[in-house]
């Protein structure tokens, strides 16, 4: 039987089949590079971010549905909804184009990009995104009509959002054209997201859409501000749209006449429309000769005052000059965005344009989250003073003479040095923490509605605002990648990190330029919760410490004994150890009285009021040694032998979807990272010239107690711990932590004690022995490593059970910095053979996929249980099915309102006052046991095992895959240093490039699901990539790119030794490399055939193939020198890190 598809008709016309072959590649449009996806209509709709260098934002679906605005979701031009609704609303929001084509006396209607025309014509659709990431173009080619229509979104900070349109006659015959082109569902100014989402029908009643006479300008405003108070509230700002390039027979302010156009009846000009959704359509009629193209544009802006509207009206009187200025502004904004990325070394020239463009995109999204140092290492005294007045205005007054002595612009290094000279530790701390970042915002967008973003990068006068904000777990990893381009700031970044850690050794939820923030309990929000995450705290700080030690080998030693560090005072109080054991899922109280005290201090002092203060009303001070020790000890006193770090602070780890692990879960992931942390700090302390370190007495005692516990039980290492001995260790450590917290919450006390360096080293050495014992015992029989385990506290014992394999466990095990190359290779080989491997994407899921039970199969109670239950039979006899319901076929099921064992237990307890009270008491345990047997909630890890997107079943979470790639390249470098077997090294490198291929830059767009030049958060099993751009993956991939290029810093020196760079990187033709130099200026270098180039700390580095290794340094003074050594001298390296401008470029032949 033939498999040929049958022909289907719309009326009497056969449905036209569009091409389904999706392809991608780079093209050049008007001298600019774009990535083109051909026939994107054959893909599922995907979501994108288009980026501006200002506060403009635009999120858009590949079907054209979009939202856009300025600053945040409260200032939107089109309604700000979640991404699914934006895609669903494509037919009624954003661009809309209706075209009538008349040839040979016949008029045909074409609605470009619309479902209304689907199947009526033979069409092809292409989508283009420019390499800079600030332009997106849609193209529909109607082969049946011999026409193509394209439109493109771009930005101008001065003028707004630009939609450019092109109509081209592809035919050799002329055509008569009538067109309606424009935008719909335009919001008036003053409508916030909550108002639009919850009361849009009310908003419509206030809408006024007006056209200015003798102009293309339209104004969209509210008749009054939408308030419920009985008082006047004028709406004095408006959104505007104007157009140019298309002679308008009429301008429409709504979509009310679209059907008139479709039917061919007369279109009337609209000058005032009320109580109707805003739109802007140009109606035009014209002749198109063969092969002619017509071009026009419309420009939309938000929140314009009466004066600004009047100014725009005046500019429109000279339309040609206005359009010329607009084009210049668009080009200038593109250059601004390119410069921002170039400052962070995001510009590269490679034959593999996908990889170099993906690097650009990674850097772009990294600085969008973490910010960029636009002033390089120069600071503004004016902004520094503003910062001080927010952080500690009393100190800024007391040290007025200090600030008076500063230049209007000064370097970061000189500021910190001058502050240290004063001898005031608070002045030093605040100056050190001053990070002049801009362009930052939290990673919120319509696909991440739980995160609120606000772009605070320009003031009302267009001046740069120094500001950053982000979730704690996110922003420090972005700063890690950024600090490779600006190494001098690493000291301030580390200080910012440890100074925001709490007295009990954890970190707050959010951080911004102005201080820290934490979650509070919001009674009516089911997502409202408090707690502390753990794994990121160890590995993120560790990576920052490693960066500092590599670039500035002595800096951390100096900071170890420096008493200028502080503690954050988050109003959470972890319960006592015995309470935690009793209920490990409810372990933290919110101290409302403390929060009031903190707010009072903030009002009196500034954001320093959120720090911990002692009884004498002084900020509690510590040295870096104490901060590092407390971080380690907080994990160690929650250590369970052979098992990991107990997750008992109401939050999971990296994977939020494993939230049910809290309480019963124990993390080997954190333990793997803790091994690296302790091993590093053991070396750090051993190199210190200090023989003792001052610690607050409670921490001194905690150190001694943890060491004592480890010493008492060390004979059990190397053999299985009994459940009883495991409990003994757990109790001893837990009560030690309990005693410490009780004293810490009262202010740590004023006394300090000197601890011998050797005692710290003894603790670290013994802790490593326990950790290595646990790691050995958590190697699975299949060669992989356990990620998490489950524990069960019972009388004097702790029983342990293992969970299924997870990708993050393998990544963390590979990241211990302790595996030999052969061992790392075995893990990677086993990983590829595991059920976590997804062959269709040649990449790795977070955990093996599994099939959830069908609804009709998951809540069935055996009839034998009911027959044996006197309670259930008695309740049924009285018609009571509140615990067990009877199905239509005589089946039995738990009541549909019961979600978990707590619900069941509560329902059973309600029977205490019923005739069945005794039966209920007698059968409670058997009912609860049956419930657990049916639903197996003991093994429930959270939403990760119950949903199908994000971190759920069958899903690839790309951040973790890039973490895997990072772990592999670290092991490649480690293997090289240890002179591992070349075959092993080759196999590790093969794994690296296989994993990189799976990540997506070189994938076909249909397989990837979007533009492969952009990072996305995850790929579920049933769709392409989801959640664009603002993912932590970009940080890992920036670092991986430096590794591929052979860059490594150690002992303060930069090594340039590309030993596993892919050979396809060398350009096959001569080209020009644009970059931003060490002093922040645009430069260009002519590249020869066979070269590739990139910048690092603003220094251009050019690679080319050669017979032998030769490194040539070209100095700014015209001199040059060559070397066969891979390591640059300490002096040259430090000059590069400080962006001295001493070096013009570096060329490497190898």
- Encode 1068-1101: b = buried (16+ Cβ within 10 Å), e = exposed: eeebebbbbbbebeebebebeeebbbbbbbbbbb
Backbone phi, then psi, for 542, in 5-degree steps?
-60, -45
- 720 by Cβ neighbours in 10 Å (0-12 / 13-18 / 19+) ranks as exposed
Gap between the Cα atoms of 641 and 723, Å rounded: 10
Give the CA count within 13 Å in the CB-facing half-sphere of 794. 5
User: Is 886 in a helix, a strand, or coil?
Assistant: strand
Q: Report which of residues 295 and 459 the model is more confident about.
A: 295
Q: What's the DSSP call for residue 128?
A: E
Q: Closest Cα partner for 373 from 1076, 1141, 1085, 1049?
A: 1076
Determine contact, residues 413/385, Cβ cutoff 8 Å. Answer: no
* pLDDT surpassing 80 at residue 525: no
User: Is 1121 in a helix, a strand, or coil?
Assistant: strand
Gap between the Cα atoms of 634 and 647, Å rounded: 12
Six-digit token string for 263: 């039917």
Q: Closest Cα partner for 66 from 359, 363, 300, 256?
A: 300
What are the helix (H) ranges across 236-301? 258-263
User: Is 539 in a helix, a strand, or coil?
Assistant: helix
pLDDT band of residue 526 (cuts 50, 70, 90) is low
pLDDT band of residue 1 (cuts 50, 70, 90) is very low
pLDDT above 70: percentage of residues in the chain: 99
What are the helix (H) ranges across 527-644? 535-551, 555-560, 577-582, 592-605, 624-636
Q: Could you tell me the strand order of the sheet in which 66-70 lies?
A: 47-51, 56-61, 66-70
Determine contact, residues 135/156, Cβ cutoff 8 Å. Answer: no
For residues 1017-1030, give the mean pLDDT. Answer: 96
User: Which single residue is written with the structure tokens 């490497």?
Assistant: 1148
Give the CA count within 13 Å in the CB-facing half-sphere of 409. 4
Six-digit token string for 908: 């059973």
For residues 330-356, give the mean pLDDT. Answer: 99
Backbone phi, then psi, for 800, in 5-degree steps?
-125, 140
* pLDDT surpassing 50 at residue 953: yes
Strand blocks (E) in 974-1090: 1016-1019, 1026-1028, 1047-1050, 1053-1056, 1071-1076, 1082-1087
Gap between the Cα atoms of 793 and 665, Å rounded: 12
pLDDT digits 0-9 by tens, 1062-1115: 999 999 999 999 999 999 999 999 999 999 999 999 999 999 999 999 999 999
Gap between the Cα atoms of 89 and 63, Å rounded: 9
Enclosing H/E stretch for 222: strand 218-222
pLDDT digits 0-9 by tens, 817-838: 999 999 999 999 999 999 999 9
- 287 by Cβ neighbours in 10 Å (0-12 / 13-18 / 19+) ranks as exposed
Distances in Å between the Cα of 342 and the Cα atoms of 463, 706, 837, 1043, 1095 are: 20, 48, 36, 19, 8
Q: Report helix, strand and coil shares of the chain as percent, to nearest 5.
A: 40, 25, 35
Gap between the Cα atoms of 40 and 63, Å rounded: 9
Widest CA span of the chain, in angstroms? 100
Gap between the Cα atoms of 1137 and 394, Å rounded: 35
The pLDDT assigned to 11 comes to 87
For residues 904-923, give the mean pLDDT. Answer: 95
Backbone phi, then psi, for 318, in 5-degree steps?
-120, 80
- Residues 191, 195, 198, CA angle at the centre, nearest 5°? 150
* pLDDT surpassing 50 at residue 801: yes
- Count of CB atoms situated within 10 Å of the CB of 290: 12
Task: Give 238's strand partners.
Answer: 304
Q: Could you tell me the strand order of the sheet in which 956-957 lies?
A: 956-957, 1016-1019, 1026-1028
Six-digit token string for 639: 């250590």
* pLDDT surpassing 80 at residue 951: yes
71-75, 224-228, 562-566, range with the lowest pLDDT: 224-228
Distances in Å between the Cα of 897 and the Cα atoms of 881, 884, 900 are: 11, 11, 9
Q: Closest Cα partner for 655 from 787, 475, 767, 820?
A: 787
Determine contact, residues 190/235, Cβ cutoff 8 Å. Answer: yes
Pairing of strands 66-70, 94-103: unpaired
Six-digit token string for 154: 């771009």
pLDDT above 90: percentage of residues in the chain: 91
Six-digit token string for 985: 């090294």
Q: What's the DSSP call for residue 488?
A: G
* pLDDT surpassing 60 at residue 2: no
Enclosing H/E stretch for 308: helix 306-316
Determine contact, residues 213/236, Cβ cutoff 8 Å. Answer: no
**Radius of gyration (Cα) for the chain, nearest Å?**
32
Strand blocks (E) in 245-341: 250-252, 272-274, 278-288, 293-305
Q: Closest Cα partner for 778 from 641, 906, 584, 915?
A: 641
Q: Closest Cα partner for 1126 from 988, 973, 1002, 1006?
A: 973
Average pLDDT, the chain: 96
The pLDDT assigned to 528 comes to 66
- Encode 13-26: b = buried (16+ Cβ within 10 Å), e = exposed: eeeeebeeebebee
Distances in Å between the Cα of 972 and the Cα atoms of 171, 543, 764, 942, 985 are: 58, 17, 27, 35, 7
Distances in Å between the Cα of 916 and the Cα atoms of 909, 910, 926 are: 11, 10, 15
pLDDT digits 0-9 by tens, 629-662: 999 999 999 999 999 999 999 988 888 888 888 9
Distances in Å between the Cα of 562 and the Cα atoms of 495, 592, 686 are: 11, 33, 17
Size of the chain in residues: 1150
Six-digit token string for 575: 């319960």
User: Which single residue is written with the structure tokens 């039987």?
Assistant: 1
Distances in Å between the Cα of 994 and the Cα atoms of 761, 842, 962, 1046 are: 40, 8, 12, 18
């Amino acid at each position: 039987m033939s498999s040929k598809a049958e022909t289907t008709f719309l009326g009497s016309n056969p449905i036209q089949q569009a091409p389904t072959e999706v392809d991608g590649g780079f093209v050049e449009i008007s001298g600019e590079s774009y990535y083109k996806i051909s026939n994107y209509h054959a893909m599922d709709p995907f979501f994108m971010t288009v980026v501006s260098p200002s506060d403009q934002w635009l999120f858009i679906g590949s079907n054209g549905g979009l939202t856009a605005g300025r600053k945040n979701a409260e200032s939107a031009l089109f309604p700000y909804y979640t991404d699914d609704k934006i895609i669903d609303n494509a037919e009624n929001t954003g661009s809309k184009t209706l075209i009538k084509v008349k040839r040979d006396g016949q008029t045909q209607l074409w609605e470009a990009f619309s479902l209304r025309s689907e199947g009526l014509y033979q069409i092809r659709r292409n989508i283009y995104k420019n390499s800079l990431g600030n332009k997106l173009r849609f193209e529909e080619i109607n082969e049946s009509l011999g026409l193509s229509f394209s439109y493109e979104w771009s930005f101008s900070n001065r003028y707004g959002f630009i939609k450019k349109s092109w109509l081209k006659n592809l035919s050799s015959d002329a055509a008569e054209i009538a067109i309606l082109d424009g935008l719909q569902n335009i919001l008036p100014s003053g409508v916030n997201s909550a108002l639009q989402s919850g009361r849009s029908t009310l908003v419509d009643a206030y809408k006024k859409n007006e056209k200015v006479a003798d102009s293309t300008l339209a104004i969209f405003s509210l008749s009054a501000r939408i308030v419920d108070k009985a008082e006047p509230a004028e709406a004095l700002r408006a959104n505007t749209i104007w157009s140019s390039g298309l002679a308008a027979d009429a301008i429409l302010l709504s979509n009310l006449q679209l059907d008139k156009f479709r039917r061919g009846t007369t279109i009337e000009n609209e000058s005032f429309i009320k109580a109707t959704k805003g739109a802007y359509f140009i109606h035009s009629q014209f002749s198109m000769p063969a092969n002619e193209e017509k071009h026009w544009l419309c420009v939309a802006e938000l929140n314009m005052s009466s004066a600004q509207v009047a100014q725009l009206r005046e500019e429109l009187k000279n339309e040609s000059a206005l359009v010329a200025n607009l084009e210049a502004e668009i080009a200038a904004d593109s250059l601004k965005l390119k410069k921002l990325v170039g400052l962070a070394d995001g510009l590269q020239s490679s034959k593999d344009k996908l990889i170099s463009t993906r690097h650009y995109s990674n850097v772009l999204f990294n600085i969008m989250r973490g910010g960029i140092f636009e002033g390089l290492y120069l600071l503004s005294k004016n902004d520094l003073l503003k910062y001080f007045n927010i952080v500690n205005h009393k100190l800024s007054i007391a040290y007025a003479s200090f600030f008076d002595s500063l230049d209007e612009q000064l370097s970061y290094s000189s500021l910190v040095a001058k502050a240290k000279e004063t001898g005031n530790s608070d002045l030093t701390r605040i100056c050190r923490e001053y990070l002049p970042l801009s362009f930052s915002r939290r990673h919120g967008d319509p696909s991440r509605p739980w995160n609120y973003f606000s772009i605070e990068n320009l003031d009302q006068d267009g001046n740069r605002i120094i500001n950053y904000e982000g979730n704690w777990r996110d922003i420090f990893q972005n700063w890690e990648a950024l600090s490779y381009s600006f190494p001098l700031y690493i000291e301030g970044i580390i200080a910012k990190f440890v100074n925001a850690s709490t007295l009990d050794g954890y970190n707050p939820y959010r951080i911004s330029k102005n201080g820290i923030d934490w979650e509070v309990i919001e009674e009516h929000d089911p997502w409202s919760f408090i707690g502390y995450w753990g794994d990121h705290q160890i590995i993120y700080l560790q990576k920052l410490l490693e960066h500092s030690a590599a670039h500035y080998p002595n800096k951390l030693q100096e900071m170890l004994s420096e008493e200028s560090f502080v503690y954050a005072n988050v109003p959470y109080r972890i319960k006592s150890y015995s309470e935690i054991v009793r209920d490990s899922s409810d372990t933290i109280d919110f101290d409302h009285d403390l929060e009031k005290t903190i707010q009072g201090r903030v009002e009196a002092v500034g954001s320093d009021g959120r720090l911990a203060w002692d009884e004498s009303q002084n900020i509690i001070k510590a040295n870096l040694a104490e901060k590092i020790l407390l971080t380690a000890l907080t994990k160690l006193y929650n250590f369970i032998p052979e098992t990991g770090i107990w997750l008992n602070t109401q939050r999971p780890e990296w994977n939020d979807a494993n939230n049910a692990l809290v309480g019963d879960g124990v993390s080997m992931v954190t333990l793997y990272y803790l091994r690296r942390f302790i091993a590093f700090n053991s070396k750090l302390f051993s190199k210190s010239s200090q023989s003792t370190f001052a610690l607050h007495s409670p921490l001194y005692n905690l150190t001694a107690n943890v060491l004592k516990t480890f010493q008492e039980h060390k004979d059990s290492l190397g053999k299985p711990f009994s459940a009883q001995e495991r409990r003994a260790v757990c109790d001893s450590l837990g009560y030690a932590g309990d005693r410490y917290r009780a004293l810490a919450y009262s202010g740590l006390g004023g006394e300090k004690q000197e601890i011998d360096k050797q005692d710290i080293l003894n603790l670290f050495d013994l802790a490593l022995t326990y950790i290595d014992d646990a790691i050995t015992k958590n190697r699975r029989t299949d060669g992989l490593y356990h990620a998490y385990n489950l524990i069960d506290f019972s009388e004097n014992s702790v029983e342990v059970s293992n969970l299924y394999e997870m990708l993050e466990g393998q990544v963390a095990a590979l990241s211990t910095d302790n595996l030999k190359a052969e061992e790392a290779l075995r893990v990677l080989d086993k990983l590829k053979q595991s059920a976590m491997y997804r062959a269709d994407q040649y990449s790795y899921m977070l955990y093996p996929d599994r099939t959830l039970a069908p609804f009709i199969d998951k809540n069935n109670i055996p009839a034998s249980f009911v027959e044996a239950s006197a309670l259930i039979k008695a309740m049924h006899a009285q018609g009571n099915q509140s615990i067990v319901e009877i199905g239509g076929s005589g089946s039995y099921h738990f009541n549909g309102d019961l979600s978990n064992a707590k619900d069941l237990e509560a329902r059973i307890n309600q029977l205490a006052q019923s005739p069945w009270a005794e039966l209920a008491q007698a059968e409670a345990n058997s009912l609860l046991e049956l419930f657990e047997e049916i639903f197996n909630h003991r093994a429930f890890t959270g939403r990760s095992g119950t949903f199908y997107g994000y971190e759920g079943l069958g899903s690839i979470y790309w951040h973790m895959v890039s973490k895997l790639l990072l772990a592999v390249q670290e092991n490649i470098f480690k293997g090289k240093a240890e002179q591992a077997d070349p075959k092993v090294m080759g196999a590790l490198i093969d794994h690296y490039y296989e994993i990189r291929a799976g990540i997506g830059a070189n994938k076909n767009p249909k397989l990837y699901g979007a533009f492969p030049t952009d990072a996305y958060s995850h790929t579920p099993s049933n769709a392409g990539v989801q959640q664009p751009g603002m993912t932590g993956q970009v940080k890992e991939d920036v670092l991986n790119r430096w590794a591929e290029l052979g860059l490594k810093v150690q002992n303060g020196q930069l090594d340039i030794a590309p030993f596993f760079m892919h050979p396809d990187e060398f350009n096959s033709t001569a080209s020009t490399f644009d970059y931003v130099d060490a002093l922040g200026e645009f430069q260009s270098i002519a590249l020869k055939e066979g070269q590739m180039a990139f910048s690092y700390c603003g220094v251009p580095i050019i690679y080319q193939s050669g017979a032998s290794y030769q490194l040539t340094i070209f100095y700014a003074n015209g001199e040059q020198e060559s070397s066969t050594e891979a390591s640059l001298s300490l002096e040259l390296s430090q000059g590069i890190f400080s962006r001295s401008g001493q070096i013009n470029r570096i060329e490497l032949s190898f």
